[in-house]
Amino acid sequence: MFNFGRRIVTVTFVDQASGQIISSSRMPLDRLPDTFAGETELKMAGANYFVVSAEPSTKAEFSATNRLKVLLRKRPS
């Protein structure tokens, strides 16, 4: 994969209830939000999820480590 000088962050999405990894992806830093605070909702693997927390929680922090773990809660159907 070519990143053409873009900063890449490894993002791991984890299900809060089971602790299982839902997905892991390498994403350009500029495509990630500044923060996951508030009610962020994602659609992934055929289901809707709410972001419970992110470690680290801000772009400034995860740009320093190039790693981000996002804890998700499945939205009730």
CA dist., res. 4 & res. 20, Å (int)? 32
Take residue 18 and report the two structure tokens written for it: 């089971």
Q: Any long-range contacts for 8-12 (C-beta under 8 Å, 24+ apart)?
A: 8/66, 9/62, 9/63, 9/66, 9/67, 9/68, 10/66, 10/67, 10/68, 11/67, 11/68, 11/69, 11/70, 12/67, 12/68, 12/69, 12/70
How do residues 24-64 score in pLDDT, each as one tens digit?
Answer: 999 999 999 998 876 788 898 889 999 999 999 899 999 99
Residue 5 has pLDDT above 80, yes or no: no
pLDDT of residue 44: 87
Residue 3 has pLDDT above 70, yes or no: no
